[in-house]
Amino acid sequence: NAGVMQNPRHLVRRRGQEARLRCSPMKGHSHVYWYRQLPEEGLKFMVYLQKENIIDESGMPKERFSAEFPKEGPSILRIQQVVRGDSAAYFCASTGLQGAIGNTIYFGEGSWLTVV
C-alpha cells in the first residue's frame, strides 16, 4: 500500500492495558491521518496531524485516546485503559504537502486491536 507502514499489524490487550499503534508515513509525506474501522462499519476519521501539530482531532474520543506525530519518528496513536469497544482496525494514512485536497491519500495495512 504505497509505503505507509503500520505496526503492529495485530495487537491483543487485556481490558485496562494501554495500546500503542505506530505509523510511518510514505516517504516525503508530512500529513498523517488516523481512521478507525469498527466491525461491519466504514472508516471513521479520528485525527489529522502534521509534524509536531494536531490539525484536526474532531473524531477522537474525548478520553483515553491521544495521538502525536513528532519531528522525528513515527506517528503514534495511544489508547489508554482499553475497553472491549476499542476492538477495531486502526488505519493510518498519509499524503503530501497539500493534504487531501487534490492529493491521493495512501493507506497503511492497518493495525487490528483486540481487547480481551
Partner 1 sequence: AQSVTQLGSHVSVSEGALVLLRCNYSSSVPPYLFWYVQYPNQGLQLLLKYTTGATLVKGINGFEAEFKKSETSFHLTKPSAHMSDAAEYFCAATEYGNKLVFGAGTILRVKS
Residues lying near partner 1 in the complex (CB under 8 A): 1, 4, 6, 31, 33, 35, 41-45, 48, 55-56, 59, 91, 93, 95, 99-102, 104-110, 112
Minimum CB separation from partner 1 for residue 60, in Å? 12
Closest CB to partner 1 among 76 and 105?
105
Minimum CB separation from partner 1 for residue 25, in Å? 13
Is the bond preceding 8 in cis, omega lying within 30 degrees of 0? yes
Minimum CB separation from partner 1 for residue 21, in Å? 13
58: left (phi over 0), alpha (psi -120 to 50) or beta: alpha
Residues in the chain: 116
Minimum CB separation from partner 1 for residue 16, in Å? 27
Using the Cα atoms of residue 109, residue 64, residue 38 and residue 42 in order, give the sign of their dihedral: negative
Closest CB to partner 1 among 50 and 81?
50
Closest CB to partner 1 among 18 and 109?
109
Closest CB to partner 1 among 37 and 66?
37
Cell triple for residue 17? Answer: 492495558
Please choose, from the candidates 91, 103, 104, 109, the residue with its C-alpha nearest in 3D space to the C-alpha of residue 38. 91
| Contact assessment for residue 55 and residue 30, using Cβ atoms and an 8 Å cutoff | no
